């Protein structure tokens, strides 16, 4: 049999094992382009099919980059920044320069200050031990900022190959599809709402004989998508700009973000808290002294998602005192709560593994 590679994800096609990677029925080989059954289902039914590739396999594929002389374009999801960091990326890419691109800018309100957003992204990268040559923002899904990223890639690659890397679900395929479309080719790389849909390296030739490589998305255990069932994930993951919801809280009052996060306002005095989360994630307010009891009785009911009967990792508590005038308590992948004014004492809770952090307000 001739060798075929899936036009959607790049995997080698095989026709013998329906449950293994790259399966396509023999009849699919008559089609042009050939796609594996997994990509076919994703494209036509928006349905993910599990395949057996481990995080180790992904990482060993990535480590091939260290021995090349190339520009690394590192895509992160601005809305799930903690879930976007690929642990040890610096080691995998060696001494190659990194261009850091924050995607999904469109989920943030229009009033967001891009400079503040970029300096937060840069600071977060430094905390990960990364020193990117530049930091950019874009919305691949909305086709905003892609041209600027493309121009910068060309500038920083300086005649070298390019590797686009990132965790699953940050929007890498969407971005690459745009690049291909700009180049006039048919876009057939798979994109979907579910994490983990791009497999193996995909090579895209550049004008000067170099190549741009799309790499497999690294599965990151800190991504919210891994904690939450698909049906619940759709409720907590915004698909458009998050809108502010303002709450005036007295001392010792609590906000629940569905059943997936919680903020206790300890004081002092009365103050505004502004929630920026998906509109389908309902916010429930209660007295802090009643919060534990409410959580125990109402998780999966009044406090949902998660759906009834779904167990999340245990809640972890983070204590903050706001220093800046306005601060954001960020729940990576869920959104954030702006605390107006300095000196507020806050306790934030999220399931173990979901990143919770404080940043100067970006609005
Ligand atoms: P990959 O796993 O990194 O290749 O990510 P995909 O390109 O498959 O995208 C993952 C999900 O994020 C899909 O549901 C996309 O529609 C969505 N997405 C990609 N780019 C953007 C963006 O700029 N804004 C928003 N809101 N969603 C995006």
The better pLDDT of the pair 65, 278 is held by 278
Give the per-residue pLDDT at 52.
46
Ligand 1 centroid to Cα of residue 70, in Å, is 25
**Residue of 58, 84, 169 to mutate, ligand 1, most atoms within 8 A of C-beta:** 169
pLDDT > 90: percent of the chain: 55
Question: For residues 9 and 19, is the Cβ–Cβ distance under 8 A?
Answer: no
Q: How far apart are CA 104 and CA 18, in angstroms?
A: 35
Q: How far apart are CA 57 and CA 60, in angstroms?
A: 5
Ligand 1 centroid to Cα of residue 217, in Å, is 12
Question: pTM (2 decimals)?
Answer: 0.85
Q: Give the residue-averaged pLDDT of 341-349.
A: 97
Determine if the peptide bond prior to 305 is cis (ω within 30°): yes
The DSSP code for 51 is: -
Instruction: Convert 21-51 to b/e letters by CB count within 10 Å (16 or more is b).
Output: bbbbeeebeeeeebbbbbbbbbeeeeebbeb
Ligand 1 centroid to Cα of residue 341, in Å, is 34
**Residue of 164, 171, 223 to mutate, ligand 1, most atoms within 8 A of C-beta:** 171
Long-range CB contacts (within 8 A, 24+) of 113-119 = 113/362, 113/363, 116/360, 116/361, 116/362, 117/78, 117/362
Mean pLDDT check: name the lowest of 36-40, 69-73, 76-80, 169-173: 36-40
Please report the atom of ligand 1 found closest to the CA of residue 138: 23
Please report the atom of ligand 1 found closest to the CA of residue 191: 8
Q: Give the residue-averaged pLDDT of 158-183.
A: 86
> In 3-state terms, what secondary structure has residue 205?
strand
ipTM of predicted complex:
0.99
* Pure H helices in 134-202: 146-157, 172-182
Q: How far apart are CA 118 and CA 99, in angstroms?
A: 13
- CA proximity to 12, closest of 27, 26, 1, 22: 22
Ligand 1 centroid to Cα of residue 194, in Å, is 9
The CB-side HSE value for 113 (13 A sphere, CA atoms) comes to 8
Q: Give the residue-averaged pLDDT of 322-348.
A: 95
pLDDT > 70: percent of the chain: 89
**Residue of 73, 110, 141 to mutate, ligand 1, most atoms within 8 A of C-beta:** 141
| Ligand 1, atom 10: closest residue by C-alpha | 169
Give the per-residue pLDDT at 83.
86
- Say if residue 222's pLDDT is above 80: no
The better pLDDT of the pair 185, 226 is held by 226
Mean pLDDT check: name the lowest of 127-131, 199-203, 250-254, 268-272: 199-203
Please report the atom of ligand 1 found closest to the CA of residue 140: 23
Site of tokens 């009044």: 302
Query: All domains of the chain, ordered by start, with CATH?
Result: 55-222 (3.40.50.300), 233-360 (no CATH)
* Average pLDDT in the chain: 87
- pLDDT of 255-266, one tens digit each? 999 999 999 999
The DSSP code for 309 is: T
pLDDT band of residue 190 (cuts 50, 70, 90) is low
The DSSP code for 26 is: G
Please report the atom of ligand 1 found closest to the CA of residue 198: 4
Please report the atom of ligand 1 found closest to the CA of residue 75: 3
**Residue of 62, 85, 174, 220 to mutate, ligand 1, most atoms within 8 A of C-beta:** 174
Residues with CB under 6 Å of ligand 1 are: 103-104, 106-107, 139-142, 166, 168-174, 191-193, 197-198, 217
């Amino acid at each position: 049999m001739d060798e075929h590679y899936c036009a959607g994800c790049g995997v080698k096609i095989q026709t013998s094992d329906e449950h293994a990677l790259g399966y396509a029925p023999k009849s699919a080989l008559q089609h042009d382009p050939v796609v594996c059954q997994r990509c076919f289902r994703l494209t036509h039914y928006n349905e993910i099919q599990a395949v057996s590739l481990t995080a180790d396999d992904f990482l060993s594929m990535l480590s091939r980059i260290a021995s090349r002389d190339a520009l690394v374009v590192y895509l992160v999801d601005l809305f799930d920044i903690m879930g976007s960091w690929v642990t040890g990326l610096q080691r995998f890419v060696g001494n190659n320069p990194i261009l850091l691109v924050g995607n999904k800018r469109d989920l943030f309100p229009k009033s967001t200050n891009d400079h503040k957003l970029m300096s937060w992204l840069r600071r977060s990268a430094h905390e990960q031990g990364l020193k990117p040559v530049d930091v950019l923002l874009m919305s691949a899904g909305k086709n905003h900022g892609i041209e600027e990223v493309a121009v910068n890639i060309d500038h920083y690659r300086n005649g070298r190959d390019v590797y686009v890397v990132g965790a699953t679900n940050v929007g890498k395929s969407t971005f690459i599809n745009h690049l291909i479309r700009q180049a006039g080719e048919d876009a057939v790389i798979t994109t979907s709402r579910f994490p983990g849909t791009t497999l193996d390296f995909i090579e895209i030739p550049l004008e000067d004989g170099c190549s741009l490589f799309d790499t497999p998305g690294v599965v990151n255990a800190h991504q919210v998508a891994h904690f939450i069932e698909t049906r619940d994930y759709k409720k907590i993951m915004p698909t458009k700009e998050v809108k502010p919801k303002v709450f005036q809280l007295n001392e010792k009052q609590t906000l629940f973000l569905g059943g997936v996060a919680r903020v206790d306002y300890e004081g002092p005095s009365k103050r505004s808290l502004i929630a920026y989360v998906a509109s389908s994630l309902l916010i429930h307010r209660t007295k802090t002294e009643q919060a534990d009891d409410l959580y125990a009785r109402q998780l999966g009911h009044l406090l949902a998602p998660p759906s009834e009967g779904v167990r999340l990792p245990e809640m972890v508590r983070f204590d903050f005192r706001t220093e800046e005038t306005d601060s954001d308590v960020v729940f990576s992948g869920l959104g954030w709560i702006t605390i107006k004014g300095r000196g507020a004492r806050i306790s934030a809770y999220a399931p173990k593994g979901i990143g919770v952090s404080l940043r100067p307000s970006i609005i």
